[in-house]
Chains A and B, each alone.
Chain A
Amino acid sequence: MANYSIHVLEYAAVPEYHVSGIIYGYHNQGYRKLPYAYALIRSEDHVALVDVGYNHKDYGKHLADKFGVRNWHSPRDVLSEVGLTPEDVDTVFVTHAHFDHFGSVEDFPNATFYIQERELAKWVWAMSLPDRMRWMMVAVDPGDILRGVDLARQGRLVTVDGDMQDVIPGVDLHAAYDSHTFGSMWVTVRNDGATPSQDTWVLAGDLIYVYENIEGDGGAVGVDKVYTPTGLATGSQTNLVLATEEIMKQVDYEKRRVVPVHEERLKDDFPSRNTSADLRISEICVADGANSQVN
Chain B
Amino acid sequence: MTPQNDIDECIATPIHASDCTSWEIPDPDPELILASFDDEAVAAYAVRIRPVYERFKRIIGQLSGLLILAQTAPAQADRDQPMVTSAREQLAEAAESRRESRAPQAARRHVAAMARIEEQLDAVLATLDRRIDLATPESPDLELAMRRLFTAHGLLLAVSDDRAEMTPVDFSHACCSCGANGSDADTTAVEPDASTTASPSPQSTD
Interface bits B138-160 vs A (CB < 8 Å: 1, else 0)? 00001000100110010011000
Whether A139 contacts B153 in the complex (CB less than 8 A), given A19-B198, A121-B69, comes out as: no
Interface bits B161-193 vs A (CB < 8 Å: 1, else 0)? 010000111111111111101100100111100
Whether A220 contacts B202 in the complex (CB less than 8 A), given A31-B185, A121-B69, A148-B64, comes out as: yes
Interface bits A241-276 vs B (CB < 8 Å: 1, else 0)? 000000000000000000000101100000000000
Give every chain A residue within 8 A of B171 (Cβ-Cβ). Answer: 63, 66-67, 99, 138-139
A157: min CB distance to chain B, Å: 6
Q: Does A158 contact B (CB under 8 A)?
A: yes
Q: Does B200 contact A (CB under 8 A)?
A: yes
Chain B, interface size category, equals 35 or more
Interface of chain A residues 49 through 101 with chain B (CB within 8 A):
58-59, 62-63, 65-69, 98-100
Give Cα distance in the complex from A220 to B205, angstroms.
12
Among A32-40, A162-170, A192-200, A281-289, the one that faces the other chain is A32-40
Q: Does A294 contact B (CB under 8 A)?
A: no
Q: Does A134 contact B (CB under 8 A)?
A: yes
Whether A124 contacts B203 in the complex (CB less than 8 A), given A150-B16, A264-B196, comes out as: no
Contact B173 A123 (CB under 8 A): no
Whether A142 contacts B168 in the complex (CB less than 8 A), given A27-B204, A62-B162, comes out as: yes
A139: min CB distance to chain B, Å: 4
Q: Secondary structure at chain B's binding surface: helix, strand, loop or mixed?
A: helix
B76: min CB distance to chain A, Å: 8
Give Cα distance in the complex from A12 to B87, angstroms.
35
Contact A217 B201 (CB under 8 A): yes
Give Cα distance in the complex from A30 to B175, angstroms.
16
Give Cα distance in the complex from A67 to B204, angstroms.
26
28 intermolecular pairs with C-beta atoms under 8 Å apart: A18-B179, A26-B201, A27-B206, A29-B194, A31-B178, A32-B197, A34-B175, A63-B176, A66-B181, A98-B175, A100-B175, A120-B68, A121-B73, A124-B61, A124-B65, A127-B59, A128-B87, A137-B58, A139-B169, A139-B173, A139-B175, A140-B170, A142-B168, A146-B64, A149-B68, A158-B72, A159-B69, A217-B202
Could you list 13 further interchain pairs (A-B, Cβ under 8 angstroms) beyond the known A32-B196, A139-B173? A16-B185, A17-B176, A26-B203, A30-B188, A59-B167, A106-B19, A124-B65, A125-B83, A128-B62, A142-B57, A149-B71, A153-B146, A264-B196
List chain A positions with a Cβ less than 8 A from chain B.
Answer: 14, 16-21, 24-34, 36, 58-59, 62-63, 65-69, 98-100, 105-106, 109, 117, 120-121, 123-125, 127-128, 131, 134-135, 137-143, 145-155, 157-159, 206, 212, 216-217, 219-220, 228, 232, 262, 264-265
